[in-house]
Amino acid sequence: MTEFLEMGGYGAFVWPAYGAVALVMFGLWISSRRFVKSTEAELATLTLKRETTDET
């Protein structure tokens, strides 16, 4: 296990590279998901508001 983590003495370069990839990919995914969720919620509120205005 230690040998695996050491990566032949280059662990300090290999792991940050994989870590950065994980961070960026996860970050992009989560921000995109939030973007969809927040716009969906806002759209639902707006259409509901308009529906109520139309009825009155």
Binding residues (CB under 8 A) for another protein: these are 4, 7-11, 13-14, 16-18, 20-21, 24-25, 27-29, 31-33, 35-36, 39-40, 42-44, 46-48, 50-51, 54
- Residue 42 exposure: Cα atoms within 13 Å on the Cβ side: 6
CB of 34 to another protein, least distance (A): 9
Shortest Cβ 54–another protein spacing (Å) = 7
For residue 16, the minimal CB distance to another protein (Å) is 6
